[in-house]
């Protein structure tokens, strides 16, 4: 018998991913189709990546035109799209900043860590190389970004990791203040923790982090790899708190699926780097930059009006679903319309939400995600108890209603929705 794709994969690919039994072969807008011709609503968007939607004609045209004109020269030479994209990002960041382009989120954070140490050695002294990050934060899977990642259980198999990283509870400004000292180069935080389950810090946390770092003379570096590119309704999530960090990292949605990472640093910090200090073969190549410029053209007009409107619809629909959740048999509904399942909550902003089923959920989030897939809805279990929704920013209110109906069906199928 001809082996199936999963069987062929198991023979030749590292066993690093646990995939459901589906092979997507085509995408258009917010929809995907699998190899059997089944249609899905993609409410994950390739993990908050496909901001412009699948196969957006402007992104496709920009990429194919650029690839057909000039695909790659290396960073030994000037290329126009790279400078144009940097100008655009620096402008949106508020000016007086410089960009380093790479190919992924982890690489964008590696560059941030390197520039922080390079800058701090000169500005604050030879020993000021420490990076303070937050528990629960996720910054990537290279050795340094894994060390920065505040999930201690991920560390042991890959030790020794680069030293110099400490972690404090996320959202706790006092703990952050206590951790920043003479040995610190920078604080590295996600504005909202994505992989931790879309954890939103208390209002004012980022402003406090800005004050603490400014007072100590250390850098505030924000990992906007998941939260950036309009995911929360502003181009950068930190803009909701009206602050300006020293360094911002981006990737994921920047190219709407075409790999590109960016590290934006204030000019004073960026200028600590010398020729030869850092580099990459592919980073910022003309095709990736053309993809990002076209993505920005699609995404920026959606911010404010469209994203806010659809966000409200999705948030309301998820809240309604939360009220309809049913838990273990030990839990009895109370009140007039029944109480929500204890611990169940909706977290997030913009078009980026977690529906947390709570500790009393009778089934893990993974089972709900599988049931949703069976009903033509792509979401992922970001934690054991929480489903993540990050649809393309072009999603319409009708598609949101359709997705919510499919999610309600999936929750009903596992006995969790009344
Ligand atoms: C906040 C954050 N930082 C960094 C990364 C790593 O990005 P990449 O997988 O492109 O290396 C991710 C990926 O999920 C992320 O969510």
pLDDT in tens, 144-200: 999 999 999 999 999 999 999 999 999 999 999 999 999 999 999 999 999 999 999
pLDDT, residue 351, reads 98
Confidence at 360, pLDDT banded by 50, 70, 90: confident
Distance (angstroms) between ligand 1 centre and the Cα of 258 equals 14
Distances (CA, A) of 377 to 30, 159, 309, 409: 10, 38, 21, 10
Ligand 1 probe mutation, 139, 188, 383, most atoms within 8 A of CB: 139
Euclidean distance between CA atoms 85 and 81, whole angstroms: 6
pLDDT band with cut points at 50, 70 and 90 for residue 336: very low
Task: Quote helix, strand, coil % in the chain, to nearest 5.
Answer: 40, 15, 45
Helix axes 397-413, 365-374, angle to 10 degrees: 120
Span of 17-21, 37-41, 68-72, 329-333 with lowest mean pLDDT:
329-333
403, two tokens? 């997705």
What is the arithmetic mean of pLDDT over 283-306? Answer: 97
Residues 6+ apart with CB under 8 A from 66: 81, 286, 287, 290
State yes or no: cis peptide before 160, omega within 30 of 0.
Answer: yes
- Average pLDDT estimate for 331-350: 74
* Residue 254 clears pLDDT 80, i.e. is over it: yes
Q: How far is the CA of 107 from the centre of ligand 1 (A)?
A: 9
pLDDT, one tens digit per residue, over 206-244 is: 999 999 999 999 999 999 999 999 999 999 999 999 999
Candidate of 46, 105, 110 to mutate for ligand 1, largest count of ligand atoms within 8 Å of Cβ: 105
Give dist(CA 117, CA 269) in Å, integer: 10
Cα Rg of the chain, angstroms: 22
| Contact present, 378 and 44 (Cβ < 8 Å) | yes
Give the per-residue pLDDT at 326: 85
Ligand 1 lining (C-beta closer than 6 Å):
104-106, 109, 138-140, 190, 194-195, 223, 225-226, 251
| Percentage above 90 pLDDT, the chain | 94
Q: CA end-to-end span of the chain, whole Å?
A: 44
> How far, in Å, from the CA of 284 to the mean position of ligand 1?
18
Checking if the pLDDT of 334 tops 50, the result is no
Per-residue pLDDT reduced to its tens digit, 50-93? 999 999 999 999 999 999 999 999 999 999 999 999 999 999 99
Q: pTM for the whole thing?
A: 0.97
Average pLDDT, the chain: 96
Mutation pick for ligand 1 pocket among 17, 48, 106 (CB with most ligand atoms within 8 Å):
106
Q: In whole angstroms, what is the distance from residue 203 CA to residue 209 CA? A: 12
Q: What is the mean pLDDT of residues 310-317?
A: 98
Confidence band for 3, pLDDT divided at 50, 70 and 90? very high
Residue 407 has pLDDT above 60, yes or no: yes
State pLDDT tens for residues 95-143.
999 999 999 999 999 999 999 999 999 999 999 999 999 999 999 999 9
Nearest 5°: CA angle at 246, between 243 and 247? 110
Q: Whose CA is nearest to atom 9 of ligand 1?
A: 105
1 pLDDT band, cuts 50/70/90, is: confident
For the CA of 140, the closest atom of ligand 1 is 6
Q: What is the average pLDDT across 256-274? A: 98
Q: What is the pLDDT of residues 318-327, one digit of tens each?
A: 999 999 998 7
Identify the pLDDT of residue 338.
57
Cis peptide before 378 (omega within 30 of 0): no
Active site residues: 138, 223, 252
> Ligand 1 centre from 106 Cα, in Å?
6
Could you tell me how many helices (H) and strands (E) the chain has, helices first? 13, 15
What SS3 class is residue 211?
A: helix
3-class SS of residue 247 = strand
pLDDT of residue 340: 74
């Amino acid at each position: 018998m001809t082996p199936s794709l999963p069987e062929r994969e198991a023979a030749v690919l590292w066993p690093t991913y646990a995939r459901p039994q589906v092979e997507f072969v085509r995408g258009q807008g917010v929809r995907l189709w699998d190899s059997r011709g089944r249609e899905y609503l993609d409410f994950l968007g390739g993990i908050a990546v496909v901001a412009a939607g699948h196969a957006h004609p402007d992104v496709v045209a920009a990429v194919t035109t650029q690839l057909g004109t000039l695909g790659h020269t290396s960073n030994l030479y000037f290329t126009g799209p790279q400078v144009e994209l940097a100008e655009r990002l620096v402008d949106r960041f508020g000016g007086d900043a410089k960009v380093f382009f790479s190919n992924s989120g982890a690489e964008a954070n590696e560059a941030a860590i390197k520039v922080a140490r390079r800058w701090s050695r000169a500005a604050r002294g030879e020993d000021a190389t420490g990076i303070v990050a937050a528990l629960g934060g996720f910054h990537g899977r290279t050795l340094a970004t894994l060390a920065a990642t505040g999930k201690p259980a991920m560390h042991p198999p890959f030790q020794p990791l680069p030293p110099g990283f400490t972690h404090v509870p996320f959202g706790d400004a006092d703990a952050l203040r206590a951790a920043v000292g003479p040995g610190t180069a920078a604080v590295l935080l996600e504005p909202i923790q994505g992989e931790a389950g879309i954890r939103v810090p208390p209002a004012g946390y980022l402003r406090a982090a800005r004050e603490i770092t400014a007072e100590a003379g250390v850098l505030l570096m924000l990992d906007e790899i998941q939260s950036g590119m309009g995911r929360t309704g502003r181009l950068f999530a930190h803009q909701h708190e009206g602050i300006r960090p020293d360094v911002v990292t981006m990737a994921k949605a920047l190219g709407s699926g075409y790999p590109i990472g960016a590290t934006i640093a204030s000019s004073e910090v960026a200028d600590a780097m010398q020729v030869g200090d850092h580099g990459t073969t592919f980073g910022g190549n003309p095709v990736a930059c053309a993809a990002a410029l076209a993505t920005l053209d699609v995404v920026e007009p959606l911010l404010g009006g469209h994203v806010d409107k659809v966000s409200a619809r999705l948030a309301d629909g998820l809240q309604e679903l939360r009220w309809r959740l049913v838990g273990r048999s030990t839990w009895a509904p109370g009140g007039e319309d029944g109480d929500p399942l204890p611990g169940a909550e909706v977290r997030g902003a913009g078009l980026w939400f977690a529906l947390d089923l709570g500790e009393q959920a009778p089934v893990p989030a993974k089972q709900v995600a599988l049931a949703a897939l069976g009903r033509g809805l792509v979401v992922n279990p970001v934690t054991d108890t929480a489903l993540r929704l990050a649809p393309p920013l072009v999603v319409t209110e009708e598609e949101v209603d359709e997705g919510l109906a499919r999610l309600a069906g999936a929750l009903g199928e596992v006995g969790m929705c009344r």
